C-alpha cells in the first residue's frame, strides 16, 4: 500500500490493496494545486527467469497531499525535476521524455537518467545521464529563467540530504544496477 505519515510517525492517510508498490516520489507537478502530489507505481506481474526479471501490468498512481486520488498514469520508473526553474516539477519518464503533468513534452533524452539536481544553483535542475561507454553527461537548460530568483535549492539542508540519499542508487530499473533506462 501507500501511506503518508507526519514527522511524528502518525499516519495522515493510507491506501491499501495493491499488489506490490515498488517505488514512488513526492513533488509539485500540477500548477495551481496546493501541496505536493505523491506518486507510486504498482507491479502486478513480476516474473523471474535466467534472463532476469520481467515486469508486466505496471500501473502508476497519483494522489494529492491530502490523500485524494488524482489519476492513474504510465509514469512508472520516473522521477521529477524542475527543468525550467518555475517551482513546478516536470517528469522524466522511462522512455526519455521530459514532460509536464499535462503531457506537454519539453525534451527527449537518450541514455540512462541517473540523477537530477540544481547543481549550478540557477533554480533549475540539471539532469545527469549515462549514455554508455563509461561516460556521464550533465544536461542543463539554457533558456532564460521564467520565474523570479529565489534562494537556491542547494542552500536548503533538507534538499542536500535528499540529493545525497538519491545519489546512492535509490532510483533503479528492475534488473539494472542503480540506473533508470532512458531511450
Cell digits for 19? Answer: 499488489
Question: To which residue does cell 522524466 refer?
Answer: 92
C-alpha triplet 96, 62, 123: angle, nearest 5°: 55
pTM equals: 0.76
Burial class from Cβ neighbours inside 10 Å (0-12, 13-18, 19+) for residue 116 reads: buried
Assign 52 a pLDDT band (cuts: 50, 70, 90).
Answer: confident
What's the mean pLDDT when you consider all of the chain? Answer: 81
114-173, pLDDT tens digit by residue?
788 888 877 889 888 877 778 888 887 877 776 666 667 777 778 777 777 776 654 444
Spatial distance between the Cα atoms of 153 and 166, rounded to a whole number of angstroms? 15
- Find out whether 115 and 99 touch, Cβ atoms under 8 Å: no
DSSP state of 129: E
Amino acid at each position: 500500500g501507500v501511506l503518508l505519515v507526519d514527522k511524528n510517525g502518525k499516519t495522515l492517510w493510507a491506501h491499501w490493496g495493491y499488489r506490490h508498490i515498488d517505488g514512488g516520489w513526492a513533488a509539485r507537478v500540477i500548477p495551481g494545486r496546493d501541496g505536493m502530489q505523491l506518486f507510486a507505481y504498482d507491479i502486478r506481474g513480476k516474473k523471474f527467469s535466467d534472463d532476469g526479471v520481467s515486469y508486466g501490468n505496471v500501473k502508476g498512481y497519483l494522489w494529492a497531499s491530502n490523500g485524494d486520488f488524482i489519476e492513474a498514469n504510465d509514469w512508472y520508473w520516473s522521477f521529477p525535476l524542475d527543468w525550467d526553474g518555475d517551482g513546478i516539477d516536470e517528469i522524466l519518464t522511462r522512455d526519455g521524455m521530459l514532460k509536464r503533468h499535462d503531457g506537454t513534452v519539453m525534451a527527449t533524452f537518450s541514455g540512462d537518467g541517473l540523477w537530477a539536481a540544481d547543481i549550478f544553483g540557477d533554480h533549475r535542475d540539471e539532469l545527469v545521464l549515462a549514455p554508455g561507454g563509461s561516460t556521464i553527461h550533465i544536461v542543463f537548460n539554457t533558456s532564460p529563467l521564467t520565474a523570479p530568483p529565489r534562494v537556491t535549492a542547494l542552500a536548503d539542508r533538507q534538499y542536500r540530504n535528499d540529493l545525497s540519499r538519491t545519489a546512492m542508487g535509490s532510483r533503479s530499473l528492475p534488473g539494472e544496477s542503480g540506473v533508470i533506462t532512458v531511450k
